[in-house]
């Protein structure tokens, strides 16, 4: 990572925890974890609470749907680390690799439910163009997506529009598929807290 | 509505913490990074890239800000504020669009329509 403090600025307790994570997962500690463990009172602790609520809290969207939204938003932001992490997690949550691949390669032709497609279209515009208008929202509502579902999807988008920027600004190392697989298992078992 | 409140409350706590809590960068500096405004070079270039083109941030952008006197801890905080600021603006724009689609009014207009 571009800041030395994010590679080596940890106290004894955190170093022990990192050694434990490394031993259990047999993978290096992902840079996403290093970020939230550095001076956690500034950003990591409150952000983990919010992200957990958005990704695992009560919602009409399934965990798989929300992980797919996270992967999709990250794809729009061209954030390699988060695309890898959340594609692996969505595939694992859905038990359906083909569905996730289809959405990420072409949203319009992917075989998914229309409410999910309409929601992802709106997130695509918001993430690429940094804005959406009332007509964009009317199109999502017309696809039988509730106001609460739109708000839930916007919370996922908010979390990943933040995290994607930090991953690229700080220069997260992008590991191989085994590391993303281990990360996906962890995120489905424990969530983001 | 209760769960939505919980989400909003958790997010508000993130924003309040990074902008108003203790930090190594000044509160004014953190607010400027959040707003992507009122910044001088070379910090302006780094923060604007974080907000608008994060994949274009380079080692040189970060090195230039360090050379200008900011510590790594200050850069850590300012970059976080910039990312949260841009994501928040997009989120607020989307919530306004949703309110407009549902009610014909922006969220900010609701407050002023309350009966006296």
Q: What is the pLDDT of residues B50-70, one digit of tens each?
A: 999 999 999 999 999 999 999
H helices present in A12-146, as ranges: 12-25, 31-37, 44-56, 63-76, 80-94, 97-105, 114-129, 134-142
Residue B82 has pLDDT above 90, yes or no: yes
Task: Give yes or no for residue B30 having a pLDDT over 80.
Answer: yes
Interface of B with A (CB under 8 A): 3-4, 6-7, 10-11, 13-14, 17-18, 21, 23, 46, 49-51, 54-55, 57, 59, 62, 72-73, 75-77, 79-80, 82-84, 86-91, 93-95, 97-98, 100-102
pLDDT at B111 over 60: no
| Confidence band for B19, pLDDT divided at 50, 70 and 90 | very high
Is A3 within 8 Å of B76 (Cβ atoms)? yes
Among A1, A124, A169, pick the best mutation site for testing chain B contact (most B Cβ within 10 A): A169
> According to the model, what pLDDT value does residue B112 have?
45
Substitution target from B3, B10, B33 for chain A, most A beta carbons within 10 A: B10
Number of other residues whose CB lies within 10 A of the CB of residue A47: 26
For residues B56 and B49, give the distance between their C-alpha atoms in angstroms, rounded to a whole number: 7
d(CA B94, CA B28) in angstroms, rounded, equals 27
Q: Do B93 and A130 touch (CB under 8 A)?
A: yes
Rounded Cα distance, B71 and A133, in Å: 40
Question: What pLDDT, on the 0 to 100 scale, is given for residue B113?
Answer: 44
pLDDT at residue A10 is higher than 90: yes
Mean of the pLDDT values across residues A12-21?
Answer: 94
**Contact assessment for residue B77 and residue B25, using Cβ atoms and an 8 Å cutoff:** yes
Of A6, A58, A168, the CB nearest to B55: A168
CB B17 within 8 A of CB A42: yes
At B44 the three-state DSSP class reads helix
Q: Give dist(CA B49, CA A189) in Å, integer.
A: 35
Nearest residue to A179 (alpha-carbon basis) of A7, A17, A1, A33: A33
Within a 10 A sphere around the Cβ of B23, how many other Cβ atoms?
22
Q: Is the pLDDT of residue B3 over 80?
A: no
Look up tokens 């965990």; give the residue: A63
Q: How many CB atoms lie within 10 A of CB A116?
A: 21
Q: Which residues of B touch A154 (CB under 8 A)?
A: 91, 94-95, 98
Answer left, alpha or beta for residue B25, where phi above 0 means left and psi between -120 and 50 means alpha.
beta
Q: pLDDT grade, residue B5 (50/70/90)?
A: confident
Look up the pTM and report it. 0.95
- What number of other Cβ atoms are within 10 A of residue A108's Cβ? 7
Average pLDDT over residues A52-56: 98
Nearest Cβ partner of B79 from A122, A126, A170? A170
pLDDT at B4: 59
Minimum CA–CA partner of B57 in chain A: A169
Return d(Cα A177, Cα A115) in angstroms, integer.
30
Name the nearest CA neighbour of A158 among B48, B74, B84, B35: B84
- Per-residue model confidence as pLDDT tens digits over A67-126: 999 999 999 999 999 999 999 999 999 999 999 999 999 999 999 999 999 999 999 999
């Amino acid at each position: 990572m571009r800041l030395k403090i994010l590679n080596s600025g940890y106290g004894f307790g955190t170093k022990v925890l990192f050694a434990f994570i490394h031993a259990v997962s047999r993978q290096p500690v992902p840079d996403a974890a290093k970020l939230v463990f550095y001076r956690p009172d500034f950003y990591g602790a409150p952000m983990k609470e919010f992200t957990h609520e958005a990704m695992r809290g009560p919602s009409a969207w399934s965990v798989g749907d929300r992980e797919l939204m996270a992967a999709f938003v990250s794809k729009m932001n061209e954030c390699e680390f988060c695309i890898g992490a959340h594609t692996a997690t969505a595939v694992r949550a859905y038990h359906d690799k083909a569905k996730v691949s289809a959405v990420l390669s072409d949203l319009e032709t992917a075989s998914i439910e229309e409410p999910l497609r309409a929601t992802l279209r709106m997130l695509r515009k918001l993430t690429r163009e940094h804005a959406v208008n009332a007509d964009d929202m009317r199109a999502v509502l017309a696809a039988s997506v509730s106001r609460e579902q739109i708000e839930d999807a916007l919370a996922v988008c908010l979390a990943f529009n933040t995290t994607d920027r930090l991953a690229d600004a700080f220069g997260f190392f992008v590991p191989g598929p085994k590391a993303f697989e281990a990360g996906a298992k962890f995120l489905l078992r424990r969530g983001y807290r | 509505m209760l769960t939505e409140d919980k989400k909003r409350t958790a997010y508000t706590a993130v924003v309040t913490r990074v902008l108003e809590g203790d930090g190594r960068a000044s509160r004014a500096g953190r607010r400027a990074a959040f707003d992507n405004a009122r910044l001088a070079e070379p910090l302006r270039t780094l923060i604007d890239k974080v907000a608008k083109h994060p994949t274009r941030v380079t080692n040189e952008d970060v090195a230039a800000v360090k050379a200008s006197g900011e510590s790594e801890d200050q850069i850590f905080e300012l970059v976080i504020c910039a990312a949260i600021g841009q994501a928040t603006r997009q989120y607020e724009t989307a919530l306004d669009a949703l309110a407009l689609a549902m009610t014909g009014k922006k969220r900010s207009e609701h407050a002023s329509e309350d009966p006296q």
